[in-house]
């Protein structure tokens, strides 16, 4: 079994955070747009980062997008940075051969 974590692009993360910031462009209508964007963003977050970090981050991302005034938090970019700050030996791909 090969357990491999795909690398997420910083550009993708910044773009996702930028979409979340877009609600500031339309002050009143933007908050209604967050009702639609929050669950979509949370699902994308979970699918992008996976595991417990993706689940916890997706929940945090949902709350951050749904509550008014918290859209400034760059949750995708923060997770990207967190993943890059791991020790190098923690980022090594695990390979399991024949169930060993």
Two tokens at 76?
């995708």
For the chain, which residues make up each domain, given as ranges?
2-95
Structure confidence at residue 97 as a pLDDT band (50, 70, 90): low
- pLDDT tens-digit series, residues 61-95: 999 988 887 888 899 999 999 888 875 555 555 55
Closest by Cα among 25, 23, 65 to 43: 65
Q: What pTM was computed for the model?
A: 0.73
How far apart (Å, rounded) are the C-alpha atoms in residues 40 and 71? 14
Structure confidence at residue 2 as a pLDDT band (50, 70, 90): very low
By three-state DSSP, how is residue 61 classified? helix
């Amino acid at each position: 079994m090969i357990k491999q974590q795909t690398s997420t692009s910083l550009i993708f993360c910044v773009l996702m955070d930028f979409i979340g910031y877009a609600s500031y462009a339309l002050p009143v209508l933007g908050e209604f747009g967050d009702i639609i964007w929050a669950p979509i963003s949370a699902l994308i977050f979970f699918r992008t980062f996976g595991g417990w970090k993706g689940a916890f981050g997706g929940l945090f991302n949902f709350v951050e997008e749904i509550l008014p005034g918290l859209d400034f938090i760059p949750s995708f970019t923060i997770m990207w940075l967190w993943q890059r700050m791991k020790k190098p030996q923690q980022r090594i791909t695990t390979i399991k051969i024949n169930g060993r």
